[in-house]
Structure 1
């Protein structure tokens, strides 16, 4: 149904700011982007029912297939044929109208090659995009519904008449309700239903029925064509898992089954076939890869590959093996798959190596522990026999244990060495003796007795028995006596050294103090003659021993005589110098004498400073001695053990140098 000439001017063409064309209705004020049907040519209306759409680029038209997405600048062949048929149809209508006005017979409608009417054949062959019913879809003898006298008696009849109107006007599921209203509002059957809601409900029911009917027909057609086309695809060598519809159109262009299927159905059936083919290929490739991996895994285990073999060396071994060269499947494996198999095998080798190393380490630790326990037992035996005491030396112990298996077993394992265990044993004995000595000292203090340098063993034994020191074993009393005697002797020796040092310093103090009365003392005087000049000096009074005073005086006189000889030597040298340089010689002699005197003064000052510094050190050391108990010369456990260990280590090193055994 074409629009009347009076309605066409109601639409006007416009362009927006972007240059896009749109149409506006002067009465309804409606604006649309698509060209209204009233303004379209017969070919444009026929083109709207196909899969092709026309667009414009730079005033040049081009055509796009909405299903296959194919794009062409020129008019596709099927649209050329459609255009020709539409033109023949329009020419037939014009001739028919002319003959009718002239009273001549109606001409016969033009026929297509298939023998069907032109318009119907065009819609059926090139696909009605909107899906409008065609005579080929419906029965040609369908009853024509008209408005009955008195109206429709039932709602069902009225709804059936309204749906007949929709069908007659070519309404399909792609039409909107507004488009449908403009199309059918002037038809008498439009008023078959009373309300707008009933009409809209009938329209929706009608479109749903069309969609369901076409979907059922499409599914039936696909079910019928699927096995035939799948068999056709499988028989063709050009159809692969990656083939597209374009390839299939080229291969099966003359096949009636392929031409019978619609484009979207062709795509669907082809994708089903290629998807299944890809799945089979992937599954086959996956099975082949798994077999190759298993085969390569058994091959790589037969090669000489260990935990230290690198990937490059292992790869060369695999490629050079006879089994790999004979197998074409293995040769086609990807390098990344070969690397994966090697990584798995190398990881397993590393785990086995780590397990073996852990087992050997545990065994080594266990054997070392047993060896240390055995050597400790050996040292305990030596201690029981009295051959290992706190004063024992390593060189003496070494002579006793060097051939024992328990000593030899400890030379290899890691951990404490025989010397370390021997030091620990000696330290333990020393600590035990020191604890016993503390108890004995406490008992002796309670009885007002003290061990001195001249205390004999018998006297010490009697003191211990009288004090009822029952917790000290008999074999340890001798060690306690030796320890206490060592401490007393060491303290006495230290005191003697300090006293001797003080005596020497007092002698030096007096020798330097005699310089104060040097003008009263002549070098030829004796000690008794010079004694009156020295008695008032404080340094003289500090010395109690007359022999020390005489020693200081003798040193002073000796130094004065040396200085006199040096002065005489200077005079002789000055006399031997040339007469023409008396002033120069005298200046040189005076300068030299001044330097000697200055040197003597500096030396004297240096000695005095040394005496003062040493005196300060003596006083500080004396205060420390006063603060520290005379009979307790030991530190706490850890420091004492370290000092003893260092002392014994130095002794052991000396013994090793002497013996040359270890």
Structure 2
């Protein structure tokens, strides 16, 4: 009965809303007649029709909204879903009075389909927001949980938190990512806390050491520890007492270094002066090697033993021997102290190498002359590839080809005649010359072998020509008889030309 009353009420509303505009236009008054006579009447009718259309649109909107309310209510009751079809939905909504607000089935279907699309979009958004919130809740929960410690493994975390609702609310893959992020956050947070505590302890200990007059630059770490135990400021600070021992030692060492600073200034200045002087000595010796290279005396093929007399006679060599610990080591005095018997028994080159080895033992810092010599020669050897390319470019530009009989002096003139050839190392030039001569000799030998093979082929063809003659050629055959037959043959002509 209540449903019938509700239906009647809705139908009355619909009829009233539809008939209201028509009733207002039915009655015709005297004023209407007067307006007709003046022409104003028709303008007024147009305005009324426009108003009626607006009312009709508003009515449609209200009806559509009521129908959507019906769908929302049934959805909330669980009667329909965003995935059900129209036939299924009609079974659950047709008994509601709002179902008959719209008369056309097509309009109802259109509104239903539009509602489904919108509802599905809302469900996706709601699901996404719910997943996002669950992730955020889990991340916050893990960050604040006391059992989340740096180094905790995921498998162990799953055993600890696996029964928690906030843990189960997130998918396994997302849960692993969130756990890693939360673990990274906890690790960073604990590291920041430890860093701040460490920073505070370092500062506090440094201030205590600064205030203790008993500690000087001569105080040892063992003595300082005994003095700290007796210090009231240190004894009352429980956080400071748990300070890392290595950090405490570092603070103490820094304090001692600061105390020693003034004492060591003169010594450090002297060491810097000595290092500058030694560097200058090494640079001068390297310039000396460069000068020898420019003169052509030092090349990539040079040996220390052959150049030692030249190098050792230069004062820059003596300056190298007086570096570092060798200031009090007189190399010449060392050599002269060896008796003549020693010189008689040991070759001179062995004495030189032995002397350099002794120098290397004394020379703790810096490089020996032999070291710098080896480094320089090695650099020249490494330059061979570049020098070889330069030489090839010069020969190509001059259209020169190295033959077997080309002399090195001639080759050297070709290279040095070009400006870029002046920087080519003499030893590398010699190596390149030898390589090109070997290549030319190899080509010549190959040409000779090819010529011999060609000659053997021609002789073989001539013998084949003789064997092919009829009657057969034997030891009694006259050459004059055979020649007339074959003198126009190619094999005969080729052999005759040899």
TM range (shorter): 0.3 to 0.5
> Structure 1 length normalisation: TM-score?
0.31
> Structure 2 length normalisation: TM-score?
0.39
